[in-house]
Amino acid sequence: MHRWISTMTAPVFFIGAHCSILFIAYPRAILSTTNYGHWEPATVIMLIELALMLILMKGLRKGGNRDYGDLFLPLGRWVGAVLLLPLTCYFMLVPILAVRSFAELMVIVFIANSPMYAILALLCLLMWLGASLGPQGIMRASTLMTLIFLPVLLFALLACLSNTSWLQIRPLLNPHLHYLMEKKFLTTLFSICPFLFLGMLPPVCKVRVKPMLLGWALIGLLYIFIVYLPILVYGVNAARIMNFPLMTSLDSVNITWSIFDRVSLFYAVALLAFVMTISSFALWSCGLLLHKLVPVCKETYIRGGLCLIVYVAAMLIPTWERYVEIFSADTWLRLAIFVVIPFAVYLRGKRIERQGRRQVGLK
């Protein structure tokens, strides 16, 4: 039993990390890529993530289950810094954008009259406390919250089916795939960023291919379902102009016997757990990588400083329109990291494996 729990920790974290992203910004982004046949770009995104995830995991296995810092820093401080600093900067973008987007959602669903600075301060405090638990604590919390809140999210999604019209799903096929090379589609690749966090897991928990493939398959079903739910409720033309099409779809459901008056409250409460999980892990990862780059700085102080940066950066995003612009602006940095890091890990792991064979041969 203990062995099964240890094996499934990484896939459960992988699913929870995706939920924090998919249930906020993904539906709106994928709806803007094409007028119909939205399952096609969603499937392409899934396959891209699968390919990059397998390359990364193979490199981690060959490298002896080291994290990014332990893989790259032996190459030299300058080479390690060139690889780790952009990765750390991108990891920092995850809590900034996640916390800011969820704060916007809280204003809509929960507390319309509360000031943004107070909401962001609360979220950043929770994130800092979560990061202070350490990797083992975050993994345990992630497993517990995913097992509790994922069924809550699924209940909220299934409740929307009562308001759907299946006639709006047509047409299903889009033979013109020109949108795959447009920036709108490339921007949607932000949804696969959780695979990068797998590179921080080997010293913490086991990361095995078969369980991860199971997690990827479950996420793939969510990719398709949460895109088509707003379409089935409102139609594609109406869903495309909404900032939060999924949340708006959930808000259209009224179940009088539920514990909350609005089903969207289930969605928001569950989403808070997932956003805090990925934000805390990203903050801990950044603190660890920067500590390995600059060992004289204590990891605790680094995390505190990074948490303050997250708060200030989130406060500097004044409106949702500005948020969307920033979200699109880092597309090329994101794509570069998605390509460079998995292949760098694979090549580094292959070299470590070759060196290990030579040492065995000399003995």
Tokens 């409720």 appear where?
233
**pLDDT > 70? residue 135:** yes
Q: What is the pLDDT of residue 1?
A: 44
Q: What is the pLDDT of residue 347?
A: 92
Q: Dump pLDDT digits (tens) for 283-312.
A: 999 999 999 998 888 888 999 999 999 999
Q: Dump pLDDT digits (tens) for 81-114.
A: 999 999 999 999 999 999 998 888 888 777 777 8
Instruction: Report the length, in residues, of the chain.
Output: 363
Spatial separation of the C-alpha atoms in residues 313 and 94, rounded to whole Å? 12
**pLDDT > 90? residue 62:** no
Task: Give the count of beta carbons closer than 10 Å to the beta carbon of residue 262.
Answer: 17
Tokens encoding 237: 């033309």
Kind and range of the H or E run holding 103? helix 77-109
The top-scoring range by mean pLDDT among 15-29, 169-183, 261-275, 293-307 is 293-307
Residue 201 in contact with residue 10, Cβ under 8 Å? yes
**pLDDT > 80? residue 280:** yes
- In sequence order, what are the residues at sequence separation of 6 or more whose Cβ sits closer than 8 angstroms to the Cβ of residue 103? 116, 119, 120, 123, 314
Spatial separation of the C-alpha atoms in residues 293 and 55, rounded to whole Å? 25
**pLDDT > 60? residue 30:** yes
Residue 333 in contact with residue 86, Cβ under 8 Å? yes
Tokens 């345990």 appear where?
140
The top-scoring range by mean pLDDT among 170-184, 229-243, 293-307, 348-362 is 293-307
Average pLDDT over residues 140-152: 86
Q: What is the pLDDT of residue 319?
A: 84
Q: What pTM value is reported for the model?
A: 0.91
**pLDDT > 50? residue 255:** yes
Least confident of 97-101, 195-199, 251-255: 251-255
Q: Dump pLDDT digits (tens) for 329-359.
A: 888 888 899 999 999 999 998 988 888 777 6
**pLDDT > 90? residue 361:** no
